[in-house]
Chain A
Amino acid sequence: MRKLIMLCSCFMLIVLAGCSQPPKPSNKIILWHWMTDRNDTFQKLAQQYKQETGIEVTIQLFAPSDSYSQKVIAAAQANVLPDIYGVLDKKSIVADFIKAGLVADLTDAMQADGASWESSLFDKALADKRFDAGNSYGVKPGIYGVPIDVTNEQMVYNKKLLAKAGIATPPRTYEEFIKDAQALKRVGITPFVSGWGELWLLDCFASNYAFNIMGEEKIFATYRGQVKYTDSDWIKVFNVFAELRNKGVLIDGIVTKGNKYAEQDFALERAAFAFNGSWSVNVYHDMNPSLDYGVIPPPPVSTLHPLKIWGSAGSTFVVNAGSPNKDKAIAFLKWLTTKEQQVVLAQETNNLPSNKEALSVISPILEEFAKGMDQSTHPNIWPLNEDPSVSEAFDKGIQDIIIGEKTQEQVAQDVQKVKDFQMAKGNH
């Protein structure tokens, strides 16, 4: 029996020892991704890259994104990550990958040749994987990711339904929007739909108006605990939702509606306005190719501060710092984000390109979305973020206002209570 155990142990040692050979550089690079709808275009571009450079890029798709993330985490622990991959998680997890030596610093490559690569890309898209000096994650300052597209969230409107209600141009102010909503209601059209059953989308809409009503300094002062949620400006933010409810602007059941169902409502012309992201161009096209619609930022309620929309990198790739083909992987990503390849990606996949120069040849509807990038911001690039439990209380409070369970003042007090509790615990 002992001999058998010894034999088995020796066999296992031989097997395990065989796998510790370091990988060698080659003309083959492997890219892992999760984007089912972009896979065919990636494959096509990889073929083209091979013809141009002789370097073979193997594109491997793992979908859905949850399964992909699990694979990346498992591969990171086994130290078998591919040359190029994406980390689909919050910035703190990306920071952990960087600190573990699994993500290459791309700053030098980005800033070579007078920073031509860096300057060709949307700054806000780069900011998603940029770590500044003194960042709270303890990461060496630098750029660690390459965005291949960008997204932003705005309002879309159905031109046919607006015309039916006698509305010639989309609203430019919140007052006009409410007036248009009344006109739509008079002809039996539901004015507005959004997937506010998903808190992030509701949070996004609310923060747009918070920026417009009080400006970013006051928002961050609130996050630091220097301004209370019971402040009159925050009440004004809550008032926006109370008014939307009181004037019957919102579709029934909006606070339980998932975004997929809200997208169906807009695509099938059951509502005239929707709040959604630029990815919806694909969704609306698939559901109703003849849908005639336009894009506007949420109409501002105040003229004191600019209204900011959320916008950032859509999908970002990183390079494996331990890859023997690191330089080739960086070169491929640089090639993938040049104007020519970005145009192909934008035209074939209907996503906003990350390269600013590619904007000149995209579809008109994507171009309308692209205009919003100048006034975009994103929690990932803010100097500080609100505690998640406070954000949750804030978003759920807005849902309570919409269904008429609480007043704006009650919600403000509830949110402030959670904030006070978190402050007492030392968060922020």
Chain B
Amino acid sequence: MKTNRYVFWGMTQSTFIHIFLMGSALTCLFPLFWMVRCSFMTIETVFVDKALIPHHLNLGNFAIAWTKGNFAVYFLNSVIYTACVVTGIVFISSLAAFAFSRLKFPGKDIIFYMFVAAMMIPLPGFFVALFVLMTKLHLINTRFGYVLCMINMGLSMSILLLKTFFDKMPKDLEDAARIDGCSKIGIWWNVALPLARPAIAVIVIFNSLNVWNEYILATLLLSDAKLMPLQRGLMVFQGANSVDYPVLMAGLTMAAVPIIMVYLVMQKYIVKGLSGAVVG
């Protein structure tokens, strides 16, 4: 009797938890579903047809979005920016985090807290300073200048995340590597980096998402349309007063696919990476 009550209570609890989780999942997935749904509609039906599955499917929006939005150029640009920025962030932040965690040098804590404090400054706060600096350095309207700024934007959080990981790395591992003849760089490359793979996966996902969806800084630093990222293509469908929703949704769907794929490939590391429970 007692067992039955426990089983019943357990099943009830599990049912409620599953209902709650399904509800949460639905609220997350519904906007994505709505985006895809609208991308198959026309401007005439998008405000009128309330059915979950549109009565008439219009596949032409994707071709319009690709050509009118000049997606081929912007897509390539975004791939280049994402690859360069994420590689740069992983390389620099892992080196910096390793130094903050395992090395001793004067002003270590102050410099680290300065990096962390940089996270608190909103992007528009340094627009003017950044623009003036990049103009003076002749890096305005260049891919290199934009990549440098984006790397800079992603560093603070990445350093903080990786430092937390490296702090938990047992000293014995480092000593063992040193006995085996590893230099400091060798320890970073052969010991610290492989152990921090989950944290690096989180950094890759977060920063890929950031760079892929970034537009404000690109508008500020780039003038030539040929250098602009993917988000510039989506702007074409948003007029000052009116928006071509179906084509915009088709563009958004295409823009979302690569980043969803990155997420799916790396998702197994995310929980480990965010909890910080790896090293040992």
Contacts and interface: CB of A to CB of B under 8 A. Distances in A.
B34 to A, nearest CB: 16
A63 B225 contact: no
B264 to A, nearest CB: 31
Nearest to A34: B240
A282 B242 contact: yes
Contact of A286 (B43, B48, B128, B224): B43
B65 to A, nearest CB: 14
A288 B45 CA distance: 9
Contacts of A289: 44
A74 B220 contact: yes
A80 B140 contact: yes
B138 interface: yes
Contact of B219 (A38, A62, A282): A62
A65 to B, nearest CB: 7
B47 interface: yes
B236 interface: yes
A78 B135 contact: yes
Interface in A198-252: none
Contacts of A288: 44
A23 to B, nearest CB: 13
A19 B124 CA distance: 25
Nearest to B238: A36
A71 B243 CA distance: 23
B222 to A, nearest CB: 9
Q: How large is the interface on B (under 10, 10 to 19, 20 to 34, 35 or more residues)?
A: 20 to 34
B220 A70 contact: yes
Q: How large is the interface on A (under 10, 10 to 19, 20 to 34, 35 or more residues)?
A: 35 or more
A78 B221 CA distance: 12
Contact of B241 (A63, A67, A267, A282): A282
Interface class of chain A by DSSP: helix
B47 A71 contact: no
A192 B160 CA distance: 55
B127 interface: yes
Interface in B168-218: 215-216
A76 B235 CA distance: 24
A78 B219 contact: no
B277 interface: no
B238 to A, nearest CB: 6
A16 B241 contact: no
B242 A65 contact: no
Contact of B220 (A34, A67, A264, A282): A67
Contact of B216 (A67, A73, A264): A67
Contacts of B138: 15, 18-19
Interface string A57-80: 000111111011011011101101
A75 B224 CA distance: 15
7 A-B pairs with least C-beta separation:
A37-B239, A74-B131, A67-B219, A279-B241, A283-B242, A286-B242, A78-B135
